[in-house]
Amino acid sequence: MSETQNISGRDLIAYRTARFFEDGDLVNLGIGMPTKCLDFLPEGIDVWIDTENGAIGLAGPPAEDEWTDPDVVDAAGNVSKLRVGGCCFDSFTSFGYIRGGHVAATVLGAYEVDQEGNLANWMVPGKTAAGMGGAMDLVAGAKKVLIMTEHCDKKGNPKILKKCTLPLTAANEVDYIITELCVLHKTTAGLVLEELAPGVTKEEVISKTGAELIIPPEEIGSMI
């Protein structure tokens, strides 16, 4: 427990996000920080990893000397492994599972996210032109949309805004925003400050957030 108390930064974001998963959930983790959730799965919680390029049951990259089938790749195109009980299917079927609400949670990063539950994470006009890949389908289709993000950008500007300024990935689909400072829940009333990181005050969160927050009158819970 004392070790847990020391978690901070990106580890804390992953630790808390992993606590949204229920045992047996089918979850899709975006490339990068979202895959870190697997390092912090609670005891007794086993999730099945969906990869939109056509598999359920990815088990992560092989060890250095381990043979693995080169035809099993993850959503970044890197060679991965399939666990026992995993299965493969074509891309069309894969996105049917995604849009059809069969994926319990999708976890992605954000350039910007706002108090209406809008997400922008695929395009910065004039700067990036990578394409949205499967992100728009995942956010529109998964039962729960979890956004893992640092609270502010590298320059210290808020990433959580009243209204996104960048082109959207999806409108009004975000459910939770998990940062190194807090957990925000998008409800029909607005963005509710539900949990704080150890040592973080609601005043600090408010000062670093561009969105209007709903602050519950009762004591705010801890992320740990």
Partner 1 sequence: MAKSKIVPLEKAMEKIIDGLTIMIPGFVNSGVPEALIKGMVDKDVKDIRIISNNTSIKGRGIGLLVHDRRIRHITCSHIGSNTETVEQVVAGELDVTFVPQGTLCERVRAGGAGIGGILTPTGLGTPIAEGKDIITVDGRQYLLEKPLRGDVALIHAWKADKMGNVVYHRTARNFNQIWATAADWVIVEAEEIVEVGELDPDLIMTPGALVDQIVDLGGVE
Residues in 101-130 that interact with partner 1 by CB under 8 A = 118, 123, 129-130
102 or 202, CB closer to partner 1?
A: 102
HSE (CB half, 13 Å, CA atoms) of 38?
A: 19
Closest by CA to 120, choosing from 167, 70, 64, 63, is 167
**Does 91 help bind partner 1 (rule: CB under 8 A)?**
yes
Q: Scanning residues 63 to 82, which ones bind partner 1 (CB under 8 A)? A: 69-73, 76-77, 82
Are 85 and 68 spatial neighbours (Cβ–Cβ below 8 Å)?
no
Residue 24 amino acid letter: G
Dist. CA 100–CA 26, nearest whole Å: 13
Of 145 and 197, which has the nearer Cβ to partner 1? 145
* Interface with partner 1 in residues 41-60 (CB under 8 A): 51-55
CB of 38 to partner 1, least distance (A): 19
Catalytic residues: 52
Dihedral pair phi/psi, residue 84, rounded to 5°: -60, 130
Query: In this structure, are residues 52 and 46 in contact, taking their beta carbons and an 8 Å threshold?
Result: no
State which residue, 45 or 79, has the beta carbon closest to partner 1.
79
Write out the residues near partner 1 by the rule CB under 8 A. Answer: 51-55, 69-73, 76-77, 82, 88-92, 94-96, 98-99, 118, 123, 129-137, 140-141, 167-172
